């Protein structure tokens, strides 16, 4: 069985967010998929099941859990499909509970993904452990189906944050009326220079201390900043050590386009 490892949201190797991609004709046993993801020890391993040349199902596994949505592994999967599995330039991913993701590839290799917006709501009642787990002052807290989104005063505060991951991990024990599972934590601030917004992302409860680039959470972060900045088109930067750039366009009240490049790092043969 062939597996690809792709750096997503980057044109350079060793930047962006690495994801593993495995294309299958039929779903593997869930325990096997989880074990493969654990063995890879990447933030996400994607499994893609072909329906036809233009239609695919997709599932994502962190080292510890299957997750409901992953943007960077969707980008990596589309890159692999366009490279080796299809001749069309537009494909559709069929996703449980989230509907259809429409993905296209430009002539220069840029991949554009049409996602549902997953808006975050401003909240004032949030767990004390969230406050205790962060060291910098913040302006507001939002929550969507995936994560707490904490708005910081400055980009420098986002860059300098050194969270207490053990405390943030305790958020995994918290259930809310909005989140379907344990909420992760994103921190964000208005951008400077070439970037409209800057963020970082922490998910220690599912085995990811800091995610390098998180496409899924930008379906909430970008609409938030689009409203604040009164603009439809934004360039977002996720300021992890690897870093990643996401070109984003608000297309309608409920859809967003998130685009980026990808770079193939490795093809491997699995012995299962």
> Which sequence positions are flagged as catalytic?
44
The residues, any chain, with a CB within 8 Å of residue 104's CB and separated by 6 or more, are 89, 90, 91, 111, 112
The strand pair at 111-116 and 90-95 is best described as unpaired
Rounded to whole angstroms, the Cα distance separating 207 from 65 reads 9
3-class SS letters over the chain: CEEEEEEECCCCCCCCEEEEEEEECCCCCHHHHHHHHHHHCCCEEEEEEEEECCEEEEEEECCCCEECCCHHHHHHHHHHHHHHCCCCCEEEEEECCCEEEEEEECCCCCEEEEEECCCCEEECCCCHHHHHHCCCCEEEEEECCCEEEEEECCHHHHHHCCCCHHHHHHHHHCCCCCCCCCCEEEEEEECCCCCCEEEEEEEHHHCECCCCCCCCCHHHHHHHHHHHHCCCEEEEEECCCCCEEEEEEECCCCEEEEEECEEEEEEEECCC
């Amino acid at each position: 069985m062939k597996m690809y490892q792709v750096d997503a949201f980057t044109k350079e190797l060793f930047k962006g967010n690495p994801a593993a991609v495995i294309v299958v004709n039929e779903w593997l046993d869930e325990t096997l998929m989880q074990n493969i993801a654990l063995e890879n020890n990447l933030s996400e391993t994607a499994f893609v099941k072909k329906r036809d040349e233009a239609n695919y199902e997709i599932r994502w596994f962190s080292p510890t859990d299957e997750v409901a949505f992953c943007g960077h592994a969707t980008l990596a999967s589309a890159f692999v499909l366009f490279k080796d599995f299809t001749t069309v330039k537009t494909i559709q991913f069929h996703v449980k509970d989230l509907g259809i993701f429409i993905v296209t590839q430009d002539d220069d290799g840029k991949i554009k993904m049409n996602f549902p917006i997953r808006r975050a709501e401003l909240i004032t009642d949030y767990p004390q452990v969230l406050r205790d787990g962060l060291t910098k002052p913040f302006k507001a807290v939002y929550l969507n189906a995936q994560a707490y989104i904490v708005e910081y005063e400055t980009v420098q505060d986002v860059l300098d944050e050194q969270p207490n991951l053990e405390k943030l991990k305790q958020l995994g024990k918290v259930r809310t009326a909005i989140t379907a599972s344990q909420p992760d934590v994103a921190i964000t601030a208005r951008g400077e220079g070439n970037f409209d917004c800057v963020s970082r992302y922490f998910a220690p409860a599912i085995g990811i201390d800091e995610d390098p680039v998180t496409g899924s959470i930008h379906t909430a972060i970008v609409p938030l900043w689009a409203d604040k900045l009164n603009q439809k088109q934004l360039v977002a930067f996720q300021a992890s050590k690897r870093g990643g750039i996401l070109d984003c366009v608000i297309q309608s009240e409920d859809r967003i386009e998130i685009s980026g490049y990808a770079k193939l790092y490795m093809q491997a043969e699995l012995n299962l």
